[in-house]
Structure 1
């Protein structure tokens, strides 16, 4: 299960594109029928599923069809599909350039009910027989209550966020240092999951996991299993074929597999999170049941799940960039702006670290924690890409594969396929490019509100990642990262 979770893991020369709302289609652009198709019933979706998971992989799957149709907008099928997903329609319209992709965030023309992972939705049994906020459209009054509650949690936790983070990082890296000294290398995935669970539980639930020995030692594993069992039909692992297709992608797994663990987490939140539960009831008119299960989704899916993918990706990118001189530049910037004492780290201090932030943004550009975004047409509308206009009918499902969208050469002009750690610096026009960085279900320059589906933690996620990087270069003069392990560390003198 941990392997599966890990696996889940220049200024532009063109005129800037408006992310939302959409401008009227240019009269010079042709109106085209959306190219592509869905193939024969049953057979077409199965062929696309095998390409997606087995023969091509997601990025090649979308790229080859984009090349075939000579269009960044086309019809195709995405998993999950037959045999045991009879209630799931795999037909989508792929939108794979920045201009087309941005329609996914215009809530006047699309809606987001039950489309977090496409037309497939895990059983509500995984979330206390409730549809949590991620599955609600903005038109649902309950969405407004829960989204505002989520924003309030983050606002209130900001006072303890950095010290809690630093304390948990001290514990994590002490363990890694000891293992490197003992064995010559140390995997960082398990220590990172323990660090994330402890840190995020304190900040989001307001609870100390150590009050429950079982939760403290196994809470992160419980969340891994809960996440994995829900998402197995949609996850590309790519190392177990054909067993992966036979056993992971052919049917949904039942809630009872993780029911015991989930109920233990529910009991922990009910007991240790009384203060935040009471606030949800009195200030946001939520029931205790709604509060507990949304809190667990925010903790487990949005926060722990997202960071469990993103932070290992961030470390991997650091390892890949070691020979470029990036480490020296980051270390210099961090210590110039915040010294060498982790107690001096703050949100304000990392906001002054332009290169650290650019490195974080570039990692988000090429490796967003949630690669696919979906939205359903709320009404008939005209969708505009760079090259054409397409008529979209009410009810059609749009799918954007972000790692490909974020390589749009008409927006990310300088080496769009290449990791450029300074891409988002002012010198490279990075401020403007943030308009098109969509990792958070909206542009980085946008604002998360109850009226949209942008991630409530849109601001705090990149800042937390920047703090993570800054801490690293305060603590170490030298660090070598390779294949999921730390192999060399030299602590700061």
Structure 2
């Protein structure tokens, strides 16, 4: 979740498009349905439904059905008892057209709303509001966003070779585990691979220079990331203990302070070149550079890629019976042969089915499911069916796993995984206008003037490389419930 890179396709910046747009004046003006309930009681009831009795997808879907609207008022966690400064009131926007307003920086702002009205303590980020919590109107946002874009541009020369060498290590370990035990978990090797690869490319540092960071850096990031967002994450097990201990209060930074400080020291020592560039070219202080680098590495890149790549493996496993494996294998080897040294950004751009598979995974399993934005001013929000008046300061919430099943846009089996949905034959390239996983449309462009993921271009290309590598290395692979149970090496 980082940046457009040298060698990636050129794109023309677009405003978030509106599908089949009638003008707002031709649609009825409607009061926003729903409500927030009694003070304290209403938010608590919604919280229990959100986390416990329904879960997020059902929570939003039931309210869509109840109000016969994709736009409505509700509460989202976190709430009472220990979140007294957090307002859980939101306006849900759950169709593609209303959701697109979240990315129009003329009418919304993004200060401190990464995970809604709740914001983890700045102690987790060195007492700085890092770029993800800054609005585009803040000068510091421009400095840090441009720094992020520059990091990825400069790392373009090492990105692919670092990825391939780290994948070699990951799959060698998995092969050995399958041979010895009959199965291998993908989670730990995946995290080790991502930490090693991303640290080299983003921080410009080799984790092997520090034995402790090399062996435990990924665990340190897991704890640091997880403990910040626990009040907003649905675990789905061990209720009511989850509600009592995970969703009722914020966890203090001191629980991860020691590990975080070790990561800070590692970046400070081993990332000197990147830090120096942040100071001389982007006017950041040394500490601003270090803590933003760690957030980019840990929250954006490591956290996002972990979720996304595990979703890719899950989809590969689920789609085996559809003939997908054979089709991906044939395309990959036709375009790039069977040697991973031939893989590049250019080669995967020619793999239409691989790219479509990646985009479909992003559609149904976006790494960040919820997006938030606060109204910068009064404005009229348009859905497919109506126009709604939004007041300055109101918080909008979009839940992407539902938005991306909008039947008026994704017309063919919108709730079904169709791996060729985004191919030219299916006319799916037009659908990239409405693929919003990156905090903006896939046809947009990440700049300092917007909040679109700096890595909007590089994430799908890296995922395509991940898939292509897999089907160069193996003739077939069996994946079930996050475990690899059989591999057939390429002959």
* TM-score, scaled to structure 2: 0.96
Aligned match for 2:102, one of 80, 101, 104: 104
For residue 172 of structure 2, the aligned residue among 171, 174, 185 is 174
SS of the equivalent of 1:63 reads helix
What's the counterpart of residue 115 of structure 1? 113
CA distance in 2 between partners of 1:239 and 1:347 (Å): 40
Shift of 1:26: 2.6
Displacement of 1:19 in angstroms is 1.9
Q: Give yes or no for the alignment of 1:484 onto 2:482.
A: yes
- Number of aligned pairs? 477
Equivalence for 1:221: 219
Give the RMSD, CA atoms, in angstroms: 1.1
Partner residue, 1:332 = 330
Q: What residue in structure 2 maps to residue 31 of structure 1? A: 29
What SS does the aligned partner of 2:479 have? strand
Name which of 353, 357, 360 aligns with 2:358.
Answer: 360
C-alpha distance in structure 2 between counterparts of 1:241 and 1:210, whole Å = 40
Cα deviation, 1:256-291, whole Å, max 9, x if unaligned, reads: 000000000000000000000000100000000100
| Displacement of 1:21 | 8.7
In structure 1, the partner of 2:196 is 198
Structure 2 residue corresponding to 1:282, chosen from 280, 287, 293: 280
Pick the aligned partner of 2:127 from 126, 129, 139: 129
The match for 2:409 among 403, 408, 411 is 411
Query: How much does 1:27 deviate?
Result: 2.0
Partner of 1:19: 16
Instruction: Measure how far apart 1:301 and its partner are.
Output: 0.1
Aligned 8 A contact 1:100 1:383 in 2 = yes
Distance between the aligned counterparts of 1:105 and 1:99, measured in 2?
A: 11
| Residue 264 (structure 1) aligned with residue 262 (structure 2) | yes
Task: Give the Cα–Cα distance (whole angstroms) in 1 for the partners of residues 485 and 381 of structure 2.
Answer: 49
Q: 1:429 offset after TM fit, Å?
A: 1.1
| 1:200-224 Cα distance to aligned partner (Å, 9 max, x none) | 0000000000000000000000000
Q: Deviations over 1:293-350 (max 9, x none)?
A: 0000000000000011110011000000000000000000000000000000000000
Secondary structure at 1:27 match in 2: helix
Corresponding position: 1:346 with 2:344? yes
Give distance in 2, aligned partners of 1:454 and 1:71. Answer: 27
3-state SS, counterpart of residue 74 of structure 2: strand
Measured after TM superposition, the shift of residue 28 of structure 1 is 1.9
Question: Retained in 1: the 8 A contact 2:17–2:433?
Answer: no
Equivalent of residue 54 in structure 1, options 52, 55, 70: 52
CA distance in 1, matches of 2:70, 2:333: 44
C-alpha deviation, 1:240, in angstroms: 1.5
**How does the TM-score come out when normalised to structure 1?**
0.96
Contact 2:17 2:434 in 1 (8 A): no
Distance 1:407 1:369 in 2: 16
Inter-partner Cα distance in structure 2 for 1:223 and 1:232: 14
Partner residue, 1:466: 464
SS at the partner of 1:317? helix
1:247 is the counterpart of 2:240: no
Provide the C-alpha distance between the structure 1 equivalents of 2:306 and 2:15, rounded to a whole number of angstroms: 32
2:431 match: 433
Report the Cα distance in structure 2 between the residues aligned to 1:58 and 1:357, rounded to whole angstroms. 28
Structure 2 gaps of 5+ residues are 1-13
**How far apart, in 2, do the equivalents of 1:40 and 1:449 lie?**
42
Local SS of the residue matching 2:477: strand
- Structure 1 Cα separation of the partners of residues 99 and 15 of structure 2: 11
* Structure 2 counterpart of 1:4: none
Secondary structure of 1:31 counterpart: coil
Aligned partners of 1:164 and 1:203 also within 8 Å? yes
Separation in 2 of the partners of 1:25 and 1:84? 44
User: Which consecutive residues of structure 1, in runs of 5 or more, have no partner in the other structure?
Assistant: 1-16
